Amino acid sequence: MAYDKQDLLRLLESEALQRGEFTLASGKKASYYLDCRRITLHPQGANLVAAGMLETIQASGDLPAAVGGMAIGADPITASIVMLAGQQELPLKGFMVRKEPKGHGMGRQVEGPVEAGQEVVIVEDVITSGGSALKAVDAAEAFGLKVREVIGIIDRLAGGEEAFAKRGLTLKTLTTIRDFGIEPE
């Protein structure tokens, strides 16, 4: 399946976007909620997101060594991108960042076939303030990875881009809430 932004927007509208009164993880109130797991765990959604993100990654120049992000939200995104890359015979691997380092075994917070010094891209579903993706950036950098950029499915336009810019990182997203006629709150 090739990336088609309009197909992704239709799927987000029908499957992930809910309107009403919601309390976000930050504690802020919002008039809409985006449950992107309903897209990243959907057969067409997983393919559209992977195709869009892989296209974005390739447009940025050389292919990084790996993509990954904070468990659980980034896991299906990472898996879909890696699978699509494999089908295209691209050497792009995946990794995941645990919320806390493992308490046994090697005690790692970053898991997967990555090594210190490699360039990576952090992936995320919904970007609000950027907090979750920034935690993934911190863990990846502590592991020794070089984070090139952050790519999300949708930007709520609530400060995430500015938070990444303060860290010298670029945020790219497949969509924003404005694609649904919603202005930032």
* 99 annotated ligand-binding residue: yes
Q: Per the domain annotation, does 95 fall within a domain?
A: yes
* 103 annotated ligand-binding residue: no
* 89 annotated ligand-binding residue: no
Q: Per the domain annotation, does 164 fall within a domain?
A: yes
State pLDDT tens for residues 144-184: 999 999 999 999 999 999 999 999 999 999 999 999 999 98
Q: Per the domain annotation, does 49 fall within a domain?
A: yes
* 52 annotated ligand-binding residue: no
Say which amino acid occupies 62.
D
pLDDT score of 27: 80
> What residues make up the domain containing 158?
5-180
State pLDDT tens for residues 119-134: 999 999 999 999 999 9
Q: Per the domain annotation, does 185 fall within a domain?
A: no
What domain count does the chain have? 1
* 132 annotated ligand-binding residue: yes
Q: Per the domain annotation, does 41 fall within a domain?
A: yes
Q: Which residues contact 66 (CB under 8 A, 6 or more apart)?
A: 92, 93, 94, 95, 112, 113, 114, 118, 120, 121, 145
Band of pLDDT at residue 185, cut at 50, 70 and 90: confident
Q: Per the domain annotation, does 100 fall within a domain?
A: yes
* 49 annotated ligand-binding residue: no
Q: Tell me the CATH number at 60.
A: 3.40.50.2020
Q: What is the mean pLDDT of residues 24-53?
A: 93
Among 182, 161, 181, 157, CA closest to 172: 161
* 42 annotated ligand-binding residue: no
* 156 annotated ligand-binding residue: yes
Q: What is the mean pLDDT of the chain?
A: 94
Q: Per the domain annotation, does 71 fall within a domain?
A: yes
Q: Per the domain annotation, does 79 fall within a domain?
A: yes
How far apart are the C-alpha atoms of 143 and 124, rounded to whole Å? 19
* 38 annotated ligand-binding residue: no
* 124 annotated ligand-binding residue: yes
